[in-house]
Amino acid sequence: MAAFQEIELKLKAAGANWAPTAAFFTDHPDYTILSQQTQEFEALYYDTNARDLAKESMTFRVRREGDRWIATSKGRGDETHGLHVRQEWNVEVQGPEPDLRCFAHLEIGSELVRLVGERPLEALFKTRFERSATLLQTPAGSVVELAIDRGQIIAGEKSVPIQEIEIELKSGHPQDVINLGAELAAVYPLRPEKKTKYSRGVELAGLKKLQTELAEKRENTQAPKPWELDPLSSLMVFFKALEDYFTHGERETDQRIIRQETQNILRWLGVAAELYESERAEITAALAYWRRIEETVEQLPQGPLYEGSYTAYLLKFWGWLISMRQMKAT
């Protein structure tokens, strides 16, 4: 099977009753259900003792999907409009034993041989979860998969829950992924999730030190001029810092980054109000909303950001920034 690009948005539970039900589709008839299925998944993630794959930002897993076993290798990640994008290769195999030779007939095969050679692979951690997947056609005609995952990431005696939604673009425009996320977050308590199951598993297994250097570096650098700001990048850093704040024990460093990126977005909006006359109403509304968000940052670890009450707006703002970037490019 050839590689394809995985483009997806992740959302995580921010409270009880977080998973979409059939009522959501009843209330949103402009989304057409193409298919639905529920499967049990169990995956083992592998690397060499020297972490040769991780050093190149590559992953390898073998996953049971119902009655089938699928070996998957994922390549170096990138971002499109802030959405996570990775190349992915999938091959059906006979069982859970790790053997990179199954990719020999694919373009990634020679790269894996170069990185790993004959060195043995060892299990890092595993995931076990149920996935309820709905294939949808969006109002704009894109096809997306809405996957609701419930289960665990397990490393030795330690485990953390999986309670997340993945919205993956199958065909069409990436903005439709964000639009669906905003529709869901308007109904259910959700927060953006920037970490993959793999990165969460690596942290759980103690294989990667928590990173504070970037936060400290950002803290000590001079703030950019308003016309140098990239609001989409600021929003992605805001999401990541918010997630780190709740995941790693309400660190003051993360809260400072959340505060700083909020201020950067407000500064950009102030300049944008003078530059984009046609968007004046949208920018004025965004300024008012971000001033409220600025107040809620000081309420952490409680308040609307924790509860996911602002997630729908933040995702709509994300989509608007994409449309603004496209407008500037034309």
Query: CA-to-CA distance for 6 and 22, rounded, in angstroms?
Result: 26
Domain count, the chain: 2
pLDDT reported for residue 6: 82
Higher pLDDT, 173 or 226: 173
The domain boundary, picked from 173, 204, 235, lies at 204
Buried b (16+ CB within 10 A) or exposed e, 233-254: ebbbbbbbbbbbbbbeeebebb
Percentage of residues in the chain having pLDDT higher than 90:
70
323 pLDDT tier (thresholds 50, 70, 90): confident
Q: Which residues contact 152 (CB under 8 A, 6 or more apart)?
A: 127, 128, 129, 159, 160, 161, 162
Report residue 106 as tokens. 């694919």
Determine the angle formed by the axes of helices 311-329 and 280-297, rounding to 10 degrees. 140
Whether the Cβ atoms of residue 253 and residue 212 lie closer than 8 Å to each other:
yes
Task: Judge if 191 and 113 occupy the same domain.
Answer: yes
Structural domain including 116 reads 4-204
Contacts 24+ apart (CB under 8 A), 118-121: 119/48, 119/49, 119/50, 119/52, 120/48, 120/49, 121/46, 121/47, 121/48, 121/60
What CATH number is given to the structural domain containing 123? 2.40.320.10
Task: Judge if 193 and 217 occupy the same domain.
Answer: no
Report residue 172 as tokens. 């069409």
DSSP state of 210: P
Task: Judge if 172 and 285 occupy the same domain.
Answer: no
Q: Is the pLDDT of residue 2 over 60?
A: no
Task: Judge if 129 and 190 occupy the same domain.
Answer: yes
Mean of per-residue pLDDT scores for the chain? 88
**Residue 104: Cβ within 10 Å count:** 13
Please state the pTM of the whole predicted model.
Answer: 0.86
Residue type (1 letter), 287:
L
Query: CA-to-CA distance for 248 and 314, rounded, in angstroms?
Result: 22
pLDDT reported for residue 86: 81
Residues 43-70 have a mean pLDDT of 93
Which residue, among 145, 143, 192, has the nearest Cα to 164 in the 3D structure?
Answer: 192
Task: Judge if 195 and 268 occupy the same domain.
Answer: no
DSSP state of 111: H
pLDDT, tens only, 124-165:
999 999 999 999 999 999 999 999 999 999 999 999 999 999
pLDDT, tens only, 271-284:
998 888 889 999 99
Report residue 305 as tokens. 């950001």
Task: Judge if 75 and 177 occupy the same domain.
Answer: yes
pLDDT reported for residue 164: 97
